[in-house]
Amino acid sequence: MRLDRAVALVALLAAGCSRPPAGPGAAAPAAAPPVTVVKVEKRPVKRVVEQPGAVHPFEETVLHARVGGYVQKLDADIGTRVTRDQVLAELAVPELEEEFKQKEALVRQADAEVTQAKKALAASAAGVAAAKAHVVEAEAGLGRAQAVYVRWQSEAERIGRLVAGGVIDTQTRDETLNQLKSAEAGRAEATAKVTSAGAAVAKADADRDKAAADVAAADARLDVARAGVRRTDALRAYTRIKAPFDGVVTRRTANTGDFVAADGRHGLFAVARLDPVRVVVNVPEADAGLVDAGTAVSVALPTAGAPVSGKVVRTSWALDPGSRTLRTEIDLPNPGGKVRPGMYVVAKLTAELPAEWAVPAAAVGKANDEPVVFLAEGGKAVRVAVQFHRGDAQHTQVRRYRRPGTADWTDFTGAESVAAPAAAVTDGQALP
């Protein structure tokens, strides 16, 4: 037995002597990182969401023909920088020009009818005045006839008394009665003339009212004719295809001489507004709640130099049902036009979360696919499962912890301390 031990000792010594010496450049074994104990404290954290995106025009409008016609002239092509209301193409529509001339002629005709109707109204007003003058004249004649009647009536009564007294003969009485009858007939005639003159006034009033209605109708026809001219002139304006805003023509599908229909199916041009541009980033569902208008963002364009700082301007608020992502848009100034639609970008969105109980990021480890931390209790490390919010490169916000063998969760209160880094700690290890 002693012999065997001696042989083994000799073998070990021989092996030690045969090991090659370490070279001068050999690295020393890596030392384990020191374990520290830190208090749980409330800290805000910054969450950085990095996602690819793409550049889009701020606006892009497809221009269609409003009236059918032939392309008479093209004034723009793809790549042409245009300003608002600049003419890009002109259409030839001869029948529309003829219709415009016809509408103008109808306006002149309606204007003449208004003049004619107004003159007829003036004549009717003069007729009313004349009829009223005839009424005055007839009433004056009636007054004279009434006076004559009264005179002969009084005379007839006087003569009758004289005849009864035997002063004069009956012949004089008969002549007086005849004069009375004549005066009575004259009075009746004058009364009829007054009635006739009144009827003439009523007719003149009716004629005047009709003439006024004719003037109103003529004015209405003139308004209709003018509206027709304006409508046709508006259609004529559509023969000039204009840019809706300052931008660049990105697509052209028409050629000189082409017939274009006003069916809205085929656009003649596409014009894009490129200052500013929209950067569109689709944020995953897990981070969608962190992004809102005003969120700080850094946009890196591989072909445009240094990253550009900006803010989120708008989001779709609702997630896309297919991709479960939130459409997020950032507006970037582009005065020189260096940034072009379709460019690839990488956007870093930084959201600052409110302060919560937090531990160093290195204090969170994993055991059995479950996040854990090591509480410092009684000078020893106690491994507990942990629930956390979010974190950044330095700190992780924690919510609750659960001790081994229990089902209840305990909220962090700030009285706890944890050991870090978790990778260098074992359950039950003595802590400094």
Are 226 and 304 in the same domain?
no
Q: Averaged over 133-144, what is the pLDDT?
A: 86
In a domain, residue 134? The reply is yes
The predicted pLDDT at position 388 comes to 86
How many domains, the chain?
Answer: 4
The predicted pLDDT at position 269 comes to 95
Are 217 and 117 in the same domain?
yes
Are 101 and 173 in the same domain?
yes
In a domain, residue 265? The reply is no
**CA–CA distance, 359 with 42 (Å, rounded to integer):** 9
Hey, how many other C-beta atoms are within 10 angstroms of the C-beta on 400?
15
In a domain, residue 318? The reply is yes
Question: Are residues 99 and 232 in contact, defined by beta-carbon separation less than 8 angstroms?
Answer: yes
**CA–CA distance, 355 with 136 (Å, rounded to integer):** 102
In a domain, residue 363? The reply is yes
Supply the CATH number for residue 387's domain. 2.40.420.20
Supply the CATH number for residue 161's domain. 1.10.287.620
Question: Are residues 417 and 38 in contact, defined by beta-carbon separation less than 8 angstroms?
Answer: yes
Question: Are residues 53 and 345 in contact, defined by beta-carbon separation less than 8 angstroms?
Answer: yes
The predicted pLDDT at position 11 comes to 35
**CA–CA distance, 144 with 50 (Å, rounded to integer):** 113
In a domain, residue 410? The reply is yes
280 φ, ψ (degrees, to nearest 5): -105, 125
The predicted pLDDT at position 282 comes to 95
Question: Are residues 247 and 287 in contact, defined by beta-carbon separation less than 8 angstroms?
Answer: no
Are 222 and 159 in the same domain?
yes
Which CA distances in Å does 218 have to 22, 112, 117, 122, 361? 118, 9, 7, 15, 88
Q: Is the pTM of this model over 0.75?
A: no
DSSP E strands, 322-367: 325-332, 344-360, 365-367
Q: Which two three-digit tokens encode residue 158?
A: 């006087």
Are 207 and 112 in the same domain?
yes
In a domain, residue 308? The reply is yes
DSSP state at residue 363: G
Are 70 and 183 in the same domain?
no
In a domain, residue 311? The reply is yes
| 369 burial via Cβ count (<10 Å: 0-12, 13-18, 19+) | exposed
In residues, how long is the chain? 432
Q: Which two three-digit tokens encode residue 253?
A: 């599908």
Are 155 and 278 in the same domain?
no
**CA–CA distance, 376 with 397 (Å, rounded to integer):** 18
The predicted pLDDT at position 13 comes to 33
Q: Range of 80's domain? A: 65-93+245-260
Model pLDDT for residues 202-250, shown as the tens digit of each residue: 888 898 898 899 999 999 999 999 999 999 999 999 999 999 999 999 9
Residue that terminates a domain, selected from 293, 321, 353: 353
Are 70 and 157 in the same domain?
no
In a domain, residue 266? The reply is no
Q: What is the largest CA-CA distance in the chain?
A: 211
Are 121 and 86 in the same domain?
no
Model pLDDT for residues 337-384, shown as the tens digit of each residue: 888 999 999 999 988 888 999 999 999 999 888 999 999 998 999 999
Q: Which two three-digit tokens encode residue 303?
A: 């072909």
DSSP state at residue 342: T
Question: Are residues 388 and 397 in contact, defined by beta-carbon separation less than 8 angstroms?
Answer: yes
